[in-house]
Amino acid sequence: MSKIYLDHASSMPMDARVFEFAKPYLMASHGNPSSLHSVGLQAKQAVEESRSKISEFIHAENESTIIFTGGATEANNLAVKGAALRNITAGKAVVASVIEHMSVLNPMKELQKNGFSVTFIPVDSTGIVDLKKLEGALTKNTVLTTVMYANNEIGTIEPIREISKIVHEKGLYLHVDAVAAAGRIPIDVQKDGIDLLTLSSNDLYGPQGAGALYIKPGVKIQSVLLGGGQERGLRSGTENVFGIVGMGEAAHIAQKEMNRESSRLLPIRDRLITEILKIDQSYLTGHPLQRLPHHASFRFSYIEGESILLNMDMYDIQVSTGSACSSKTLEPSHVLLAIGLKHEEAHGSMVLTIGRSTTMDDVEPVSKASNETVQRLRKMSPMSQEWRK
């Protein structure tokens, strides 16, 4: 059986068209965008063209709203800490949903150590943010609220426009981590009412090591990485020209093909969900309808996720169990705990994120391998043996 890669939420393979477009900036076009000679100016022009592509991709006001970073984690840190610290005279309260990525939650906790009040908003059993709790948490001292566009572990899409309305009636700025959503569903930062938005190159089929932060005109933030003053003084350091050029082209391709590709993936996703839920004691996690078109996530009773991942890999099928960024610990996913699962339930998760290489022909071998994996692991599980009694 050929390899079936179903872990696009943690890393997408670079699109061959993106590589061919950006390849000259690995060797031949090696200039520093800050240099004033012709080679440097060529690199600077390429960076600015990518900035324009990213701006168009999210329907930003203009290209000057885009700041390039070394990845989504850096962009989230810049948004959270940069906005909170720059606007400290307006208040020292920040708010986040409890299911945010760790690159949002950990900067929030760091702010808390430095005197900020931090409130984490709960979600319901499908991962939707509690809007009443959000409204109640906001005060005149709230300088930043952050809610992700869609969750990378359970695929649930948040009601961003409703959230934006609540935030701007009572708070200051709304930051949205759009890494999981961008390229899968349309994003319009102006219509959505977003002040700060995080993007990742690697999650758009672009090169690893590049990201971007949209900053709405008039929004005030400060740098968290000091140096030579590149990127409007907000992100110092020589730009990763290859990564940035690739990210821009990846966004350009995604913008053209997103609707068609999402329509192609939806029936594959739904078929996977139908087939895998035939396994005894299997459950879908996340919202059944309001979810990303490429995302199917499950939990299985009496087994644990790392074993699922390793067993599926024996079939040459790559899947995930929760977030790749938090899988180095043995703790259950904070997202699965937040939607009300018990520790033992949260451990038995499997996340399938399909992509451009996925076809309907993959459904049968994936379903078969999933069933065999679950049955094999349950035979070895003490918890399963107790259940069978």
In the block, residue with structure tokens 């590589």: 19
Measure the CA–CA gap between 243 and 23, rounded to whole angstroms: 10
CA angle 329–331–336, rounded 5-degree value? 125
Q: Which of 325, 340, 379, 388 is catalytic?
A: 325
Q: How far is CA 374 from CA 4, 300, 363, in A?
A: 18, 8, 16
**Residue 158, Cβ density class (10 Å: 0-12 exposed, 13-18 middle, ≥19 buried):** buried
Q: Which amino acid is at 142?
A: T
Give which of 355, 353, 200 is closest to 291, Cα–Cα. 353
The letter for the amino acid at 2 is S
User: Is residue 325 annotated as a catalytic residue, yes or no?
Assistant: yes
Helix (H) or strand (E) holding 143: strand 142-146
Produce one character per residue of 237-252: b if its CB has 16 or more CB atoms within 10 Å, e if not. bebbbbbbbbbbbbbb
Q: By three-state DSSP, how is residue 187 classified?
A: coil
Residues designated catalytic: 325
